[in-house]
Amino acid sequence: LGSIRVDISPIAVGQEITVMFRGGPVFIRRRTETEIAEAREGDTARLIDDLARNENLPEDASAADANRVLNPEYLIVKGNCTHLGCVPLGNGAGDYDGWFCPCHGSHYDSSARIRRGPAPENLPVPAYAFENDGAVVKLG
């Protein structure tokens, strides 16, 4: 399975793109200061899934927002709902300003952590690295 490189330099603050990788969508969101602050506030909430689900970190890393990102400005997650695999709506959708899955009503926050609804886990963070001074993301 190969890697892909994505030029993230055109993504404005508050925008996100979806790329296909290994047969599924990956969301790359450039978060606003408000979204980052909300995500950090969410660290103290009672989370449904308290694991980071971040392939770049040990399996037991906590779901703190700092463990969900390599750079707080960019949140990069796999884009299939952890309930039954629908693709959630993004751009601040849902009650937690993140993503909303319309299939059965799962709300994810601005760290893509599940906050309400039937989905059991946070949207997982794929293995990735920044290249070219942060202008490019290498997935895989």
Provide the annotated active-site residues.
104
- Provide the 8-state DSSP code for 70: S
Q: Which of 13, 45, 84, 135 touches ligand FES by CB under 6 A?
A: 84
Residue 123 makes contact with ligand FES by CB under 6 A: no
Whole-number Å distance between alpha carbons of 99 and 80: 11
Residue 39 makes contact with ligand FES by CB under 6 A: no
Q: Under 8 Å CB-to-CB from 9, ≥6 apart: which residues?
A: 135, 136
Residue 139 makes contact with ligand FES by CB under 6 A: no
Q: Per-residue contact track with ligand FES, 91 to 110, x per CB under 6 A?
A: ----------x-xxxx----
Judged by CB under 6 A, the number of residues near ligand FES is 13
Q: Which of 14, 25, 72, 118 touches ligand FES by CB under 6 A?
A: 118
b/e per residue 68-103 (b: at least 16 CB within 10 A): bbbebbbbbbbbbbbbeeebbebebbbebbbbbbeb
Calculate ∠ Cα 118-113-17, nearest 5°.
110
Amino acid found at 66: A
State the minimum distance, in angstroms, from the CB of residue 122 to ligand FES. Answer: 13
Residue 117 makes contact with ligand FES by CB under 6 A: yes
Q: Which spans of this chain sit near ligand FES (rule: CB under 6 A)? A: 81, 83-86, 101, 103-106, 117-119
